[in-house]
Each structure stands twice: as C-alpha cells, then as structure tokens.
Amino acid sequence: MLQALQTLVVLAAAPLYAGLISRAEAVVQSKHGPSIWQPYRDLSKLLGKGRVISEHATVVFRWAPYVAMACFLLVSTIVPIITAQPLPLAFLADLIGGAFVLGLASFVLSLAALDTGSPLGGLGASRTTWIGSLAEPALILVFFTVGVLSASDNPYLMNHALAGSPAALALPTHVLGAVAFFMLLLAETGRIPIDNPAGTIEISMIEEPRVLEYSGRDYALIKWGGWIKLFLLSSIFMNVFVLPWGLGSATGLGSGLLGIAALGGKLLLCGAAIVIIDSSFAKLRFFRIAEYLGGAFLLALIGIVTSYVIGK
C-alpha cells in the first residue's frame, strides 16, 4: 500500500509543486501570475486533445513520451519520498542506477526530437545532450560524496546513515556535495541560470524546442514527466542531503500520511530556494553553461577528496 501511495503522491503532487513555484515567482516579481492549479488545468486540456504526428515520424517519436514517463515512475519507486524504510521495489536500483534511468528518459526524448527532422527539434536535442553529457558525470560524482559517508549508494541507507549521524551533515564532504547537487537540480530541470522555463523565444530555449513537435496527450505526458522529475530531484535533495528526518516508517498507512506532511514542508523550503534563484539571477549565455556544470563537478570532486583527507 505504501509503495502505491508513494507513486500516487508523485503523480498527483508534482503538478502542484510546479504550480506553487510558478505562482511564487510571479508574486516575488510583483505579477499576478497563474493559479497554483494551472498545471492540472493544462493537463486536463492537453489530455482531451487529439495528437498530430508528422508523416516522417517513426515508432521512436510515438513511444518516447511513454518511455520517458515510465523512467520517471521507476525512479519514484527506488528513492525515499514519504517513508524512510525501504519499500518492496526499493532495491531495483541505487541512486547511480536512478541517474542512468533519468539519463535514459532524456536520451529517448532527444532521439524523438531528431526523428521528425525538425530544425528546432534537432537544435533542442543537441543542446540538451551536450548539457547532459556534462551534468550526468557530475551527478554521479555527487552521489559518491554521500556514499563515502554512508558506505552505501542506496538512497534509503544513505538517509538512515545521515539521520543517525547529524554531525555528518556539517562535514565539508557533505556540504560540498549538497551544493553541487542543488546546482545540478537546477540544470537537470531546466531552471535559471541554465534555462528559463517561462521563456518564449524559441531560438534561446534549451528544453522546449526538443518537444515542440508533440501535441495532445503526448505533450501532456512530457510536461507531466518534467514536473515529476523536478519533484523527484527536490525530494532527493531534501530527504537525503538536507533534512533526512521526518519520513514515516513502513509499518502502516498512517506513518505514510505523516511522511507526506513532512515532505510538503521540506518541498516548500526547496521551492523557496528555487524561487529565490530564479528571481535573483539571469540566464547564463549558452557557452558559459560548461563553466557552471564544471563548477558543480569540481565541488563534488573536492568533496570526495576532502573525505579522504579528513579520514587520514
């Protein structure tokens, strides 16, 4: 029951989390902004529309949104979101395996963008692939920073190790890894300073041109999957790196409901940090993104080196 509840929470709450961030950004910028329920309205509208598919599209284009959504849902089963006790499917993969699954979702969407021969689709695919080639190694290295402290790469065991040793949260290894992970969270979800999710100039977008050929329920799945990815990475950041306490136990449905309440409070903090970044910084020029991702990689690497220096 808790396994199903966790997946349902991810599916149902991800659009709300995105809506809250959009609304908060508008308020901070003295705008009226959309309702926090706008993502649900968008999903309802898109799911009710038919889809238009290019005559040049192959099975890759048709199935990519479903494969990407399946990848996001798979990651939701292996990370601690509402409970600190491993659920039945928790040992399908570790965090490094989860990073590869997220990379697979991005890979199939890039293939789909190239499949129709659209110039903008190819532009978006090349840009996201280039960014992914820099972000994914840094993300894996970040997981190593927590792994050297918890002696495991399983997210549940990482959570237990850090929750049982609060002093580890103040170690340079963990602090540097947490900062690097937050930088990569912004990059992987297309937030400022990497990309502007509210941008409307097609030539300067990074993620959106990759999915411009989609419509109807296919586009709904892609948008929904993007919100789920933001929700998952934010949950990992808060439950593993920042506040590993407050999760429920796997002994009953009641503890899972308490875990949902705790998760909501944590995501409000993470969302506030994202809003501050989005409202305080400008989007980087494209060729400076490598410096940003290189900085995240360097922080994670220094964190690992620091762990061995302190250990000695």
Sign of CA dihedral 248, 252, 256, 262: negative
C-alpha 60/C-alpha 109 separation (Å) is: 9
Q: How far is CA 179 from the centre of its chain?
A: 15
Question: pLDDT tens track of the chain, all 312 residues?
Answer: 888 889 999 999 999 999 999 999 999 988 888 999 999 999 999 999 988 888 888 999 999 999 999 999 999 999 989 988 888 887 777 888 888 999 999 999 999 999 988 888 888 899 999 999 999 889 989 988 888 888 888 888 888 888 888 888 889 999 999 999 999 999 999 898 898 877 666 667 888 888 889 999 999 999 999 999 999 999 999 999 999 998 876 666 777 788 899 999 999 999 999 999 988 888 888 889 999 999 999 999 999 999 888 754
Tokens of 243: 């506040």
pLDDT at 246: 84
Tell me the per-residue pLDDT of 155-201, one tens digit each, with 9 for 90 and over: 888 888 888 888 888 899 999 999 999 999 999 998 988 988 776 66
C-alpha 152/C-alpha 45 separation (Å) is 44
pLDDT value for 237: 95
- Identify whether the C-beta of residue 38 lies closer than 8 Å to the C-beta of residue 227: no
Q: In this structure, what token pair is assigned to residue 277?
A: 């970044």
pLDDT reported for residue 312: 46
Burial of residue 31 (CB within 10 Å: 0-12, 13-18, 19+) is exposed
E strand intervals along 25-148: none
- C-alpha angle with apex 105: 271 to 66, nearest 5 degrees? 100
If you write DSSP's letter for every residue of 209-240 in order, what string do you get? GGGTT--HHHHHHHHHHHHHHHHHHHHHIIII
Phi, psi (rounded to 5 degrees) for 193:
-95, 5
DSSP, collapsed to helix, strand or coil, labels residue 248 as strand
Provide the residue range defining the domain that includes 213: 2-311
Rounded-to-integer distance, Cα 160 and Cα 165, Å = 9
Domain count, the chain: 1
CA dist., res. 256 & res. 128, Å (int): 36
Query: What pLDDT shows up at residue 202?
Result: 65
pTM for this prediction:
0.93
- Which distant-in-sequence residues (6+ apart) come within 8 Å of 70 by Cβ? none
How far apart, in whole angstroms, are the C-alpha atoms of residue 134 and residue 73? 24
